[in-house]
Structure 1
Amino acid sequence: MVLVPLNKGDAFDGDSRTLAAVLRERLGRQQLILITNNEYGKWLTGTEWPTDAHQTRDAASAVGFLKELDDAGLAARIGRAVELIKAGNGTEVYKAETARIDKEYSARPEAEEHVSGSSSDSGPGTLIAIAAGLVLAVVGAVLLVRHRLPRHTSFAFPDAVFAAEEAADEAGLRRQAAAEMLALGEAVEHADGAASGLSRALDAYDAAGRVLDAARGLPDLVGVLALAAEGRSALAPTPGLPLCFFDPRHGTAVRRTTWRPLGRRERADVAVCDDCGQALRARRSPQVMAVRHRGRTVPYFEVPAEHSLWAATGYGSLLSGPDDTLAARVGTGEFSRARLLSDDHGGAVGD
């Protein structure tokens, strides 16, 4: 059993997937099962090499939906995941449990989403437990425990994890935002004066500068990245997609897709990166960007739209048409008004 604290900037850059890859290489095994935890919550995620022959992914995910494990400890959850993997019926159980929950909450649209987080779940870094030698029908089974989601919610974020990630990310993100804005300025300077998108690129550059000057947290700094991307897209021969809806730090989206959160009726057309698109196709929650709002840590898009330009627009994904741009909304004061309204109601987004 090994406990490894993960933090941004360490040998694995705080990414358990990188650690998992290193473990596999060091162990020298071609057949391997790893059960990992997402840093936001308590559920398990399974990965199997060379193929998912034992339905490891669905077996590990199904554990979080089982009612009998609502209050179970980590050992019991791992044990149940092992049982499902060994039985080879993880996909069947996963589909049955997610369908049950989806049906329950779709029938109760008035039910308020319960998002909770406990600082006792995690220290400043994510603790990852690796246990080897499980009795499985594969060679060299390894369990790598990562936290995921409490029941009855699509996303949740323990405060301690969020605070550690925010502190580690903000300084670097501010430098990145400044560099992206500078690069956009250079691209505008060298652009053909007759380019059809030059005016929009200039507007995006100006808006990015205003947001960067006023930025006081990760959401605004990510907004600078989104504005810079909007400006680059305006200069391109064929306008591209915005940044990934779920976490713009994932980079430029590769496709648009329809998304409906588990247990809800409303749908949205959003732009997603490849990883988030794959997660949605597998009916799993993508990795999302969290913010602070009224003392709670929530996905940025769950902040009321009037309190956040970024929630209202999905960092570009939810804009209504070619003339509706992030830069235009910053220019009309929507960014500033949302910040003032958020302050008036008990704390700015990102504080």
Structure 2
Amino acid sequence: MFSDLKRLTTAAVVALAALLATAAPSVAQVPSAPSPGQKIADALRESPVYVDAAYADSVPPARQKQLVRQIEKTGLPIKVALVPIVQGDAYEGESDVFAEVVHDRLDQRELILVTGGDKWSGNLNGFEWPGEKQQARDAVGTVGFLDEMKDAGLAEQTAKAIELIARGDGTKAYEKATESLGNGSSGKGNGSLPHPETAEKGDDSSLPSWLLPVAVALALAAVGLVLFVRRRGRGRSGRHPSATGAPFAFPQAVFAAARTADEAALRRQTEAEVLALGEAAAEAPPASTPHLQRALDAYAAAGTVLDSARGLPDLAGVLALVAEGRDALTPHRDGTPAPLPLCFFNPLHGRADARIRWRPLGRRDQLRVAACEECGSAVRARRAPEVLTADHEGRTIPYFEIPAAESVWAATGYGSLLRNTETEADGLAVRVGRGDFSRGRG
């Protein structure tokens, strides 16, 4: 529908331009420079692979030629356009808008287009016209959830996407790659989302709405306690998921659910992450985990918040608590900076990239907050970052504009505004434990 409407609009604009040119032949026609979308479309007519200069190191010319040969062997109308798509650009930071622009400029009826990530995700995206004969969207979407692609470069991911498209069973591959989510996986591996078509339907369970969070909270507490008592005395030296020394990272599916505003899917992901934190804390050897109690406190606090979470802001708080607990389990070398909390502006963007100075609208003083790369770039360019909003007194406002006394998330910035995050004297878990979250509820 969107594609057809856009074609009609484009045709109307072209017809109007031709009419004006006929009616006023004396007006000098100054040729305009081709748009970025037109340049990319023109390049794709010459070669099925277009790589922006920003990705030249990741996909060098030799690798581009290999991708071209791979596409030619499939016999399918596949084209690859690896272009940075960011907020504020000509495509509004949306890969689907970019895809429609390229498709319109190519004027090619049958087309399978693989694009780079957009402002929502660094993952590749797949598009297909007409219909979904090769199931390109699911095929390309599968790449981000394959264990073998976890540390793969952009060229390898693109090659895998082409391979999956050629197989023609993208939906089946997607469901297989994401089946661990549906059976309550603890979050190990890459994690995943339900199939897009089923994710929108939500949970059709006939159980009372209050029963699920209560059951989850009880199950989490029971599992955590049993595992802790059973394994604490073993003195095992096994590695828990955060024992690599690298900052803990959530599976891509967590933030993919947030990007689609699928609260039910995000809730399932947070449940799995809380359970995984409990297992990790139970497996951690006490002798070499000095902040084990802090991790257990974070686990208990995450369960408390999850039990009464009312929307995305609270679910984001659960993820912030999980990150705090994971960091407590992670051994840090002396002299290395502590991992940053989740992004202040929108914790559903993931782990912050750096601390920046930011002045809230209407205030003279500046705050020093942790921001992801996207939000940090927006602030430096004097653009408004994409913020997490919350409902307050009948209005939807940025979560941090809620009075601090009414929201532990506004008071702490999901960890960004805390001063002593390296000690047990302060932190999200401590504040939830002392009742800040519950008082805000009241």
Q: TM-score, normalised by structure 1?
A: 0.52
> Could you say which residue in structure 2 is the equivalent of 1:266?
365
Which range moved further: 189-198 or 304-313?
189-198
Which structure's residues are more often helix, by fraction? 2
> Could you say which residue in structure 1 is the equivalent of 2:374?
275
1:10-52: CA deviation from partner (whole Å, max 9, x where unpaired): xxxxx961213323543567xxxxxxxx9xxxxxxxxxxxxxx
SS in 2 for 1:258: strand
Which of 341, 345, 359 in structure 2 is aligned with 1:246?
Answer: 345
CA distance in structure 2 between the aligned counterparts of 1:209 and 1:169, rounded to whole angstroms: 20
Answer whether contact 1:242 1:315 (CA < 8 A) is retained: yes
Structure 1 counterpart of 2:94, one-letter code = R
Cα distance change of structure 1 residues 306 and 23 upon mapping to structure 2, 3 Å threshold: same
Which of 1, 18, 26 in structure 1 is aligned with 2:103?
Answer: 26
Query: Counterparts in 2 of 1:225-244, with a 5 A limit?
Result: 225-238=319-332, 239-244=338-343
1:35-72: CA deviation from partner (whole Å, max 9, x where unpaired): xxx9xxxxxxxxxxxxxxxxxxxxxxxxxxxxxxxxxx
Cα distance change of structure 1 residues 168 and 276 upon mapping to structure 2, 3 Å threshold: closer
Shift of 1:271: 0.5
2:330 is equivalent to residue 330 of structure 1: no
> Could you say which residue in structure 2 is the equivalent of 1:179?
272
Shift of 1:294: 0.5
Shift of 1:274: 0.6
1:195-224: CA deviation from partner (whole Å, max 9, x where unpaired): 112111111001001111121222211110
CA distance in structure 2 between the aligned counterparts of 1:222 and 1:214, rounded to whole angstroms: 13
Cα distance change of structure 1 residues 166 and 240 upon mapping to structure 2, 3 Å threshold: closer
Which range moved further: 182-191 or 240-249?
182-191
Cα distance change of structure 1 residues 288 and 206 upon mapping to structure 2, 3 Å threshold: same
Cα distance change of structure 1 residues 198 and 25 upon mapping to structure 2, 3 Å threshold: farther
Shift of 1:183: 1.6
Which structure's residues are more often strand, by fraction? 1
1:213-264: CA deviation from partner (whole Å, max 9, x where unpaired): 1212222111101100111111112341110000100001111111112442
Cα distance change of structure 1 residues 184 and 25 upon mapping to structure 2, 3 Å threshold: farther
CA distance in structure 2 between the aligned counterparts of 1:178 and 1:241, rounded to whole angstroms: 23
Answer whether contact 1:177 1:221 (CA < 8 A) is retained: yes
Structure 1's unaligned 5+ residue stretches are 4-14, 30-37, 39-164, 341-351
Structure 1 counterpart of 2:426, one-letter code = D
> Could you say which residue in structure 1 is the equivalent of 2:414?
315
Answer whether contact 1:166 1:218 (CA < 8 A) is retained: no
SS in 2 for 1:297: strand
Shift of 1:192: 2.0
Cα distance change of structure 1 residues 25 and 167 upon mapping to structure 2, 3 Å threshold: closer
Shift of 1:285: 0.6
CA distance in structure 2 between the aligned counterparts of 1:262 and 1:292, rounded to whole angstroms: 19
Which range moved further: 19-28 or 227-236?
19-28
> Could you say which residue in structure 1 is the equivalent of 2:311?
217
Q: RMSD over aligned Cα, in angstroms?
A: 2.4
SS in 1 for 2:262: helix
Q: TM-score, normalised by structure 2?
A: 0.42
Cα distance change of structure 1 residues 196 and 28 upon mapping to structure 2, 3 Å threshold: farther
Q: Which has the higher contact order (CA 8 A, sep 6+)?
A: 1
Q: Which has the larger radius of gyration?
A: 2
Shift of 1:324: 1.1
CA distance in structure 2 between the aligned counterparts of 1:295 and 1:236, rounded to whole angstroms: 41
CA distance in structure 2 between the aligned counterparts of 1:314 and 1:221, rounded to whole angstroms: 14
The runs of 4+ residues in structure 1 deviating greater than 6 Å are: none
